[in-house]
Structure formats: C-alpha cells, structure tokens
Amino acid sequence: MVVGPRGSVGTVGGSEMERLVVDRARDLLSRGESALLTYDLQYRKLGALDLACGGAVDVLIETLDSKKLGALETWLLGIESRRWVYTSTALEPAAGGTRGLVYAEAGERGRPLGEIRQPDGSSMLVEEHPPRPHVLLAGGGHINAALAKQLDGLEYFYTVVDPRPDFCSESRFLPARARHCLEPETFIRRGSLKDFTYAVVCSHSQSLDFDAVRALLESRFAGGIGLIGSRSKKKDFEGRLKGLDFERVEIPIGLDIGAQGVQEIALSIAASLVRFHRAGR
C-alpha cells in the first residue's frame, strides 16, 4: 500500500485483499484513526477471501501524527546509517492509547522479539530490521550499470569505483551511496571495507580485476566476492593467487540461468547476491 500527498492512497498490487485494505485505509485516514485488521486467505473456507495463499494475514493501518515522527525519523536514520533498528508497535493499546509505532531505536542485535504483553494490558510487537546490504561495484561498465538498477529495485545500497570519470558519474549512477573515481585496488587498500557486504569485480580491464581481487583477499574482506569471467580467467587467477583462499571467489558470478546479453547477466548476478544475503552462499 502507498500513502501519497494529502492522504491519497493507492495500491501496488491487484488482489482483493489489497483493495479491501486500501478502502479501509481511506476511511481510517479521513477520521485520523488506526486499526488492526485480519484477513483469512483460505479460499475454500466460508467467509475467507478468494486467495489460495493459505493461513491468515494481519494488517496494521495507522495514521501517523506528530508524536510518532521522532520514532519514524530514528527508524529512517538507522536505515541510512546501516544499523540494526528495533521498533515497538502497539497492537492492543491500553485504555487511552493508540495503535501503531511507539518507539524506535538503533542498536546491536540480541533484543527480545515478538509480541510482548505489557503490565498495563497492552500488547507490543517488537521487531528487528537488519541493515540493508551494501554492494561494492568494482567497475562502472555496462554490466555493473545494469546491475545497479537491479540493486535499486532490491533496495540494496551500492558504491561504485571506476578510474574513468564518465563511468562513475552521478548521471550514470545517480542513486549510488558513493562514487569514487579511483582504480578499485587503490580504493580497497586505502579505505575501510567493513561497511560492505559483497564486492562485484567487473571492470573494463583484466589487470584491474586481478588487482582488485588480490587486494580484497589480502585485506581479508569479510563479505562475499564475485568476479565476472570465463573458465580460462578463473584458471589464470587461481594460479596467480595461490595461498589467498581464491576458492571463496565466485567466478563466474551469477546464477546459471543461461543468461545472454547485459540485462540478463545483470539479472543473474542480482539473483546470486540475493542468494548470498538470504542464504549465506
């Protein structure tokens, strides 16, 4: 669901449940109220929606007011600073209270999560929101430019590094978290890599690729490493990087979907990144 200017409400999908949620949201918004709704998705069950998802879904619709803006700002700043954020949401408020976002705090992992019953009878949902992945794009060529658009859709952060000004420009990578007109190896050896979760090495030069991979391995970069290339490139790099745990480098990077052309290759790499960040491989 999308809430727009002046309280306009739209939907990004087209299911019956989404239509019902939008209609109810318009009504609640006009009255400045919040509500916790439950929808049964077992389509064969009497009274359930005609959806084959199974189970049920709870939807919290809340009207944000000035009292909640501080918590919302903390949440958004936590996302931008790539920190774990914890939010507390009132599901069943005590007398005089309202449903919705109550508190947000950026911190470390390890908090109690789930629905917590408070002494005053209210029910509070405590959730954790992990930092978004941050991908280092070593090279600003056509494949990484196409990959950047995929990362935008996934809401991943990314930083691009390329020694050619035209290939790391703002116009080429507008939503990038940062752009550095440097050789990838120079950037890797000069700066801290702890903010990155993955490095995609795909420059315009075999030598730049080799230097970047060597620098990443020598720096003991903790994230994943993917390298564009063929079997012969893999054999060459493997022979020249003995003793540096080259086995952890995914080459060629990307799920094997038979990709051809820039857009399909970028899609296969994006799928590989999702697998890494979701499944750790």
Question: With bands split at pLDDT 50, 70 and 90, how would you rate the model's confidence at 102?
Answer: confident
Could you tell me if 173 and 160 are in contact, meaning their C-beta atoms sit under 8 angstroms apart? yes
Examine the domain organization and report whether 243 and 218 are in the same domain.
Answer: yes
161 and 240 co-located in one domain: yes
State how many domains the chain has.
Answer: 3
From residue 192, give the alpha-carbon distance in Å to each of 125, 132, 186, 201, 223: 36, 18, 12, 17, 12
d(CA 108, CA 186): 31
pLDDT digit string, tens, across residues 38-86: 887 776 665 566 666 677 888 888 887 788 899 999 999 999 999 999 9
- Same domain for 24 and 142? no
Phi then psi for residue 103, to 5 deg, are -155, 145
Mean pLDDT confidence for 168-191 = 95
pLDDT for position 45: 67
Q: Is residue 101 domain-shared with residue 229, that is, in the same domain?
A: no
- Please report the sign of the dihedral spanned by the C-alpha atoms of residue 61, residue 66, residue 68, residue 73: positive
Q: Are residues 270 and 138 in the same domain?
A: yes
CA distance 197 to 273: 10
DSSP letter (8 states) at residue 94: P
Stronger pLDDT, 195 or 91, i.e. the higher one = 195
Query: Which of 110, 129, 148 delimits the end of a domain?
Result: 129
Q: Are residues 141 and 104 in the same domain?
A: no
What's at 229, amino acid-wise? G
**Could you give the CA distance from residue 272 to residue 249 in angstroms, rounded to a whole number?**
13
In this model, does residue 171 exceed pLDDT 60? yes
123 plus 103 within the same structural domain: yes
- pLDDT greater than 90 at residue 216: yes
Q: Look at residue 3 and tell me whether its pLDDT is greater than 50.
A: no
Quick one: average pLDDT of 178-202?
95
- Same domain flag for 89 and 139: no
Residue pair 265/272 in contact (Cβ under 8 Å)? The answer is: no
- My answer on whether 70 and 150 are in the same domain is no
Indicate which CATH number applies to the domain containing 271: 3.40.50.720
Give 10's pLDDT tier (boundaries 50, 70, 90). Answer: very low
What is the span of the domain harbouring residue 47?
2-61
Six-digit token string for 134: 């941050």
Which pLDDT value is given to residue 16?
76
Q: Do 82 and 48 share a structural domain?
A: no
Phi, psi of 21 (to 5 degrees): -65, -45
For residue 117, what is the enclosing H or E element?
A: strand 114-117
- Above 70 in pLDDT, residue 119? yes
Sole residue written with tokens 């995929």: 150
Residue 107 Cα to chain centre, angstroms: 18
Residue 4, pLDDT score: 37
In this predicted structure, the answer to whether residue 197 has a pLDDT above a threshold of 90 is yes
For the record, the structure tokens of 23 come out as: 């209609």
Residue 36 has pLDDT above 80, yes or no: yes
**5, pLDDT greater than 60:** no
Residues 149, 251 within the same domain = yes
- pLDDT value at 12 more than 50: no
The mean of the pLDDT values for the chain is: 88
> Domain boundary residue among 83, 102, 129?
129
User: Where does the pLDDT of residue 11 fall: very low under 50, low under 70, confident under 90, or very high at 90 and above?
Assistant: very low
pLDDT at 14 over 90: no
- Assess contact for 237 and 251: CB atoms under 8 A: yes
- pLDDT of 13 above 60: no
Q: What is the mean pLDDT of residues 116-139?
A: 90
Give the domain-ending residue among 61, 78, 96: 61
Note whether 139 and 125 are same-domain residues. no
Q: Which residues have CB under 8 Å from 145's CB, separation 6+?
A: 172, 173
DSSP code at position 84: E
Question: Residue 19's pLDDT is what?
Answer: 86
214: DSSP letter:
H
pTM of the model: 0.82
